[in-house]
Structure 1
Amino acid sequence: MTSNTDLYRDSRDHLIALIGDHDKAVSEFRWPELTGRFNWATDWFDAFARGNDARALWIVEQDGSELTVTFDEMVERSDRVATWLRQLGITKGDRVILMLGNQVELWETMLAVMKLGAIVMPTTAALGPDDLRDRIDRGAARCVIANAADAPKFDGIEGDYLSIAVRGDVDGWISYTDSATVTSAGPFSADTTVDEPMLIYFTSGTTSRPKLVEHSQISYAVGHFTTMAWIGVRPGDVHLAISSPGWAKHAWSCFFTPWIAESTIFVYNYGRFDAAALIDQLRRAKVNTFCAPPTVWRMLIQADLGERPEGLRELLGAGEPLNPDVIRQIEDAWGLTIRDGFGQTETTLQIGNTPGQPVKPGSMGRPMPGVPVVLIDPVTGKESDEGEICLDLDAGPVNLMTGYLGDPERNEQVMAGGYYHTGDVAARDEDGYITYIGRTDDVFKSSDYKVSPFELESVLIEHPAVVEAAVVPQPDDTRLAVPKAYIALAAGWEPTADTARTILEYSRDHLAPYLKVRRVEFFELPKTISGKIRRVELQQREAEAHRNHTPIGTEFRYEDLVD
């Protein structure tokens, strides 16, 4: 009988061989049919990493200091930490909050917790005491592992949990350095099955408190085959993703995907961003695949890009659409296209522009191999060329969460009608390319036309004055609503009528007449802890002003400046 490890490797190798031929990959790729006992940390990572002297992790600090860890060393380090945690009483099913930065303890502890069959709850250090209390209470945390500098955030948070301090001693906390004195009890063989939980993520809701997203032993560990295919990372590559621990994107690109591909995770830690220094690191480390958020790409083009760094093969963007001018400048300098994709904390990558395939401006790409993406008309409930992005549950999407913990009502909503509902709306063209329209609850009507805030925002951020934009409906007695843009200005631009006029004229010249922005206000955009714009606050502000018949004196109106 073929082992789960062999099934995993065979499926992965097949998909790697198909990178560059999207149509063939969609036609031929099949998920590995894993059954029974499986644990990614022991049955995959340890299986290929033990005795492997290739570099697993390479961390470089801004001061020039660095640390490299081989795969074999990572096996031994995580075995030792797992032994120590087990001695402290951590067992299968216990939930462990990890609140660490991009430091070696993060990677070895994630593996260690998984090897025990315990459940990892990654958490960002940006959270305050109230959010941490919520995570400990609703997440039923059995253990917290955090840097000593962050320990005061937990003062006064009651609960039956162990507190472990990393890189420093804290009164009442167990010191992580104690783990170094333990004799490893490895190799481990975790008694977890494919359906049992491995990860819990708290999503940052824009309208409600965070949801608890649970992933099984395979939904991320196998599901991220899609992310590997999108990035185009291969065995032996050096992969760099600019991402902060605690968020799902970090697990995507800085943990699972590179090690699924048996590649090196390269980390460059910096306090103050320095574009030239980052480019130097790309060259020095001979990075092959590089993923960064739009803010980083926008800052990179301000530096001297020079020639393409040796070895650099794939470029990725994540989080929001990139200004076409940024994409063009990178293409002109390095001859590479920044590719986009779509996924969620609840899934792995669903849709993407894959290596070697034509990229259509503004499109997220096509459904990934093995991912049953359909667009569902919200009125008819039928498949359509425009509608909500859904996954067909009858097709058994491997890369989908098990559900929201403790929220059966929400689970029923998102799994209704035989589909997983993402809450995002998109359109598909004749070639199968999918273009994002917006969240289902963000789209609004103006003069009987459907308006996608995302479409308007994508045009607005092309203007040099605009760093970020959020379009919301402003109630209007004649048109039902008119599009209003809240804008964060770029450095060097003043919040004046002249600036507003140039932005309004730009939107008029680049959008259909019924989509043109009619109100502009320069504003500090409200955001969640993960950086998502809280449009609901802006919508409430507009609704309240309309309800109270109170003009917003700080906004600029199209009819006053342009018409």
Structure 2
Amino acid sequence: MSTPTSSATEAFRAARDQLLGWYGDPETAREQFRWPDVGPRWNWAVDWFDAIGRGNDDPALVVVDEDGSTTELTFEELVTRSDQLASWLSGLGVGRGDAVLLMLGNQVELWETMLAVIKLGAVLMPTTTAAGAADLRDRVARGGARCVVTDPACTAKFDDVPGDYLRVVVGTVDGWSDLHEARGLGEVRVEHPGTGPEDRMLLYFTSGTTDRPKLVEHSQASYPVGHLTTMYWLGLRPGDVHLNISSPGWAKHAWSCFFAPWNAGATVVALSYSRFDPAGLLDQLRRRRVTTFCAPPTVWRMLIKSDLSAGPGELREVVGAGEPLNPEVITQVQDAWGLTLRDGYGQTETTAQVGNVPGDRVVPGSMGRPLPGVPVVLVSPETGRLVDGVGEGELCLDLSGRPLPLMTGYQGEEGGTSGALDGDFYRTGDIASRDEQGYITYVGRTDDVFKASDYKISPFELESVLIEHPAVAEAAVVPAPDALRLAVPKAYVALAPGHEPTRETAGELLAHAREHLAPYQRIRRLEFAELPKTISGKIRRVELREQEEQRDRDRAAGGAPEVVEFRDDEFPGLRGR
């Protein structure tokens, strides 16, 4: 059985097939790719997923539990289950435009629910299972949740979350409707909800590295269609087996566990693990015959400290995302597996913007070049003018023509943009540099870059040097107030297993940094600590920066707490160097 295709489906398919044909030819892709016109009626779950899924017995989803057991669903089975669930949710009162807070882990019901909600023309509001009651009160209120879908372990968190919302659970809990009842509906078929490309489809909370999380609104086109170029960056092809390490509730999960692989017609493999296990991950990569693999730099840093000698299995493409990749990590993966680990860049507010793509030359440390169809520019923070050619500036998107992969705005904020969409550009808040060939290198958040002795310091550059040392698992560099220089670089370091937070270790790290950094980048202070992170795992340098400022105020008032901090001028071998 097949699904009649619409003109929107054919336009989407043609654009996708063009990109598939341009693997190995990124210059042509950048010059010739145009976003497909999927209007006036478009719903990705109906017009694309159902179109490729009905009658398709290829595996669409494989969920692997910690005990090694798996649940596998074909495309046809997911079409059927999502139709049933959409019909059942509709019977409860969920309809077009209603916000559905989805709080599930890596379990098949997550994917079924995402498809079902989209088919209804309702609005997905994915939320991490790590969210507490206070977070949930904020999300239900700001997102205007009409329905909550979660698992039994999380239902108690909603006891103190007010609101007139439907309660749906994967299982049996008093006062909640059991989602599994939908599977008893038999054969049903959901009609197209009549949504258009501009209708809202997704609400995502940002990770909140520097401020309160913002509520990002995406349309029926911006993520589903925009992730065509994410597919291109990942190097996905029909029939691939794709594994992405990302927690449900965050945008990267939708990027790489939902839209991009299914745009390609690939199989999604997801690990339902309570704790990250490098050896277990490596085993599953080979056991599941994974061909394309994406993981954040934190995972890659853990993997290169593991045993990679068994090889990459059937891996063809390996990618890092979420934070910048350190050159040392890329080198070690290349040496161990003979594969080029490719970096990329994007945000919750967008799909992938910049990337090292298959077939393009990779410049170690660079995020790559702008992806097809994404109008990336650099803008001077001081003048607000475009930076032409080689230079440094804030990474922005040119708003002339309104870039398709860009959010609608921030819901609930004045103007819906929080200043990010004011004027001619969408401002990412990230500083980057561009070389003669157009390769873009991340410098840091506009909030993170600082001056020391009148030199501009990029924390990422200093951190990249520190993590080359085998004793360092993670590092964060922030400015520490200094009477002479106004500020000096200070490193907070989380040590790798087997290393102790001693004076000797600190001296080794400071000497290592001194040897590999320019004199003006000298790390002058170091403290061993567990690094503060957002709920999504990103380091909150802003918290460390505020801590340094507070300590400075306390010292001035004569009440500074005792801190175990190491200074380079305390080590005789480093003085005067």
Q: What band does the TM-score fall into relative to the shorter chain? A: over 0.9
Corresponding position of 1:499: 505
Provide the rounded CA distance (Å) in 1 between the counterparts of 2:129 and 2:412. Answer: 24
Letter paired with 1:83:
S
The count of aligned residue pairs is: 562
Corresponding position of 1:239: 242
Letter paired with 1:72:
E
1:139 maps onto 2:112 in alignment: no
Q: Which moved more, 1:359-368 or 1:206-215?
A: 206-215
Corresponding position of 2:287: 284
Provide the rounded CA distance (Å) in 2 between the counterparts of 1:272 and 1:444. Answer: 35
Provide the rounded CA distance (Å) in 2 between the counterparts of 1:520 and 1:266. Answer: 40
**Runs of at least 4 residues off by over 4 Å:** none
| 1:114-146 CA distance string (max 9 Å, x none) | 000000000000011000111111111000000
TM-superposed CA distance for 1:160, in Å, is 0.5
CA RMSD in angstroms, aligned pairs only: 1.7
Corresponding position of 1:270: 273
Contact 2:463 2:475 in 1 (8 A): yes
1:499 aligned counterpart, secondary structure:
helix
1:418 maps onto 2:428 in alignment: no
Picking from 181, 186, 189, the partner of 2:184 is 181
Corresponding position of 2:230: 227
1:299/1:379 Cα in 2 relative to 1: closer, same or farther (>3 Å)? closer
Provide the rounded CA distance (Å) in 1 between the counterparts of 2:490 and 2:332. Answer: 30
1:474-493 to structure 2, matched below 5 A, reads 474-493=480-499
Letter paired with 2:127:
T
Contact 2:107 2:272 in 1 (8 A): no
Provide the rounded CA distance (Å) in 2 between the counterparts of 1:208 and 1:330. Answer: 34
Corresponding position of 2:475: 469
TM-superposed CA distance for 1:493, in Å, is 1.6
TM-superposed CA distance for 1:317, in Å, is 1.2
| 1:33-54 CA distance string (max 9 Å, x none) | 2221100000111111111111
TM-superposed CA distance for 1:2, in Å, is 7.5
Picking from 435, 440, 445, the partner of 1:439 is 445
Percent identity between the two aligned chains:
61
Corresponding position of 1:349: 352
Provide the rounded CA distance (Å) in 2 between the counterparts of 1:219 and 1:26. Answer: 19
Corresponding position of 2:383: 380
1:248 maps onto 2:258 in alignment: no
TM-superposed CA distance for 1:556, in Å, is 0.9
Q: Which moved more, 1:475-484 or 1:365-374?
A: 475-484
1:161 maps onto 2:165 in alignment: yes
Corresponding position of 1:68: 72
| 1:497-554 CA distance string (max 9 Å, x none) | 2111111111111111111111111122222211222222222221122223256631
Contact 2:105 2:272 in 1 (8 A): no
Provide the rounded CA distance (Å) in 2 between the counterparts of 1:81 and 1:183. Answer: 11
Q: Which moved more, 1:394-403 or 1:255-264?
A: 394-403
| 1:202-221 CA distance string (max 9 Å, x none) | 11213332111000000000
- TM-score normalised according to structure 1 size: 0.97
Provide the rounded CA distance (Å) in 2 between the counterparts of 1:113 and 1:460. Answer: 45
Contact 1:234 1:262 in 2 (8 A): yes
1:482 aligned counterpart, secondary structure:
strand
1:484 aligned counterpart, secondary structure:
strand
**Unaligned stretches of 5+ in structure 2?**
none
TM-superposed CA distance for 1:287, in Å, is 1.0
Provide the rounded CA distance (Å) in 2 between the counterparts of 1:473 and 1:62. Answer: 41
TM-superposed CA distance for 1:304, in Å, is 3.5
- TM-score normalised according to structure 2 size: 0.94
1:28-47 to structure 2, matched below 5 A, reads 28-47=32-51
Provide the rounded CA distance (Å) in 1 between the counterparts of 2:447 and 2:278. Answer: 37
| 1:280-314 CA distance string (max 9 Å, x none) | 32222221101112233233334432354443100
Contact 1:307 1:333 in 2 (8 A): no
Provide the rounded CA distance (Å) in 1 between the counterparts of 2:282 and 2:307. Answer: 9
1:275/1:481 Cα in 2 relative to 1: closer, same or farther (>3 Å)? closer
1:260 aligned counterpart, secondary structure:
helix
Contact 1:95 1:141 in 2 (8 A): yes
Corresponding position of 1:199: 202
Q: Which moved more, 1:358-367 or 1:201-210?
A: 201-210
1:543 maps onto 2:549 in alignment: yes
Corresponding position of 2:517: 511
Contact 1:321 1:458 in 2 (8 A): no
1:501 aligned counterpart, secondary structure:
helix
| 1:16-68 CA distance string (max 9 Å, x none) | 11122111110111110222110000011111111111111112223222121
Letter paired with 1:244:
S
Corresponding position of 1:453: 459
